[in-house]
Structure 1
Amino acid sequence: MSESLPVVYLARHGETAWSLSGQHTGVTDLPLTDRGERNARRLRERLQGLTFAKVFTSPLQRARRTCELAGFGDRAEVFGDLVEWNYGEYEGKRTEEIRAKRPDWQLFRDGCPGGESPDQIGARADRVVKRIREVQGNVLIFSSGHILRVMTARWLGLEPLAGKYFLLSTASLSALGYEHELSQPVIRLWNDTSHVGS
């Protein structure tokens, strides 16, 4: 792979109380846990030596704080389309609670009542992909798991549904890029948590 082709690094925010408990956290603006803050600081070490033409963050505090602790708070642009999936009536609920009433429910296929459909979050992800492809150079993004998974699917030209295949851990680092030329988008790194402590 040519090192001159741009790379888009994806940093999922550090742990929150709800990511720990498995509750769907869309627009609820939760802070990081102590461990979430520690692991966000470890992202700083992981990202050391990399240079970025642009840094974008979700407006939610869990992403903004992760960005700040990773050392990029002073240069990050808040980008509203990077906010997490709006779970509507499923906000704060665990998957098993939802499936107790809707046994066949799948987020990436069905979306959420009172929240966003896969097509709606896919349209947001498309706007993110368009914007980062306009940047000359590497990009770093701080956001939440499900929007980053849908964005990855759209980066690859797949439907939002394909986001279900791209598991992301808190404080993980992933990278999207190209093989050979800008017309061949690829995943270069996925869900790296080698820098994260227990």
Structure 2
Amino acid sequence: MNEAPPVVYLARHGETVWSLSGQHTGLTDLPLTERGERNARRLADRLEGLSFKRVFTSPLQRAVRTCELAGFGAQAEVDRDLVEWNYGEYEGRRTEDIHAERPDWQLFRDGCPGGESPGRVGVRADRVVKRLREIAGSVLIFSSGHFLRVLSARWLGLEPLAGKYLLLSTASLSALGYEHNLSQPVIQLWNDTNHVGS
């Protein structure tokens, strides 16, 4: 009997005050809101019955806390490459305010002044993908929205720019996998929020 191919599950952290307000939250280490904590607990129900060879989390508290509330705190390993995009001068700012100064600005194409370029985030994502492909079994990752979007693009062999097409909600669950005997990386599940309440 053939074993099921490995799956990489991606859990975006729960809501913070800045994700609620639309402010870019890179390295600012914000806690979850009360609703963010509640929805992180609901991830535990969503993940029930799944087993993981390894669990990784970003070092930022919003990811670590989501991981803990989802029931994987004791198993998780911190991976610094999973940290969110460094937004530099755009940290804490909203896209609409940035567009008032730079109407054509696109994060996934232009990056951020004083922060990371899409290429730099892509390099971090590539390191993660390489490590994931060496693990024999399914993996669970807790991280932030924009980084997970770049990671998914790179999993598929696409440029970081392709992350702009992959919307992710807070406390969502997605899954990356393979078809054709592990030769073709695919998205198996995207932005599932059925477990999250209003």
Q: TM-score, normalised by structure 1?
A: 0.98
**Which residue does the alignment assign to 2:193?**
193
Are residue 123 (structure 1) and residue 123 (structure 2) matched?
yes
**Which residue does the alignment assign to 2:151?**
151
**Which residue does the alignment assign to 1:102?**
102
Kindly provide the CA deviation profile for residues 133-155 of structure 1, in whole angstroms up to 9, marking residues without a partner as x. 11110000000000000000000
Distance 1:63 1:133 in 2: 22
Distance 2:21 2:127 in 1: 31
**Which residue does the alignment assign to 2:179?**
179
**Which residue does the alignment assign to 1:86?**
86
Residues 1:3 and 1:43: Cα distance change in structure 2 (over 3 Å)? farther
**1:178 shift after superposition:** 0.3
Deviates more, 1:2-11 or 1:59-68: 2-11
Q: State the one-letter code of the partner of 1:10.
A: L
Q: Secondary structure at the match of 1:186?
A: strand
Distance 2:165 2:82 in 1: 19
**Which residue does the alignment assign to 1:16?**
16
Are residue 167 (structure 1) and residue 176 (structure 2) matched?
no
Give the 4+ runs in structure 1 shifted more than 3 A: none
Distance 1:182 1:93 in 2: 41
Which ranges of structure 1 fall in alignment gaps of 5 or more residues?
A: none
Q: State the one-letter code of the partner of 1:37.
A: E
**Which residue does the alignment assign to 2:114?**
114
Q: State the one-letter code of the partner of 1:105.
A: W
Q: TM-score, normalised by structure 2?
A: 0.98
Distance 1:114 1:37 in 2: 31
Kindly provide the CA deviation profile for residues 45-64 of structure 1, in whole angstroms up to 9, marking residues without a partner as x. 00000000000000000000
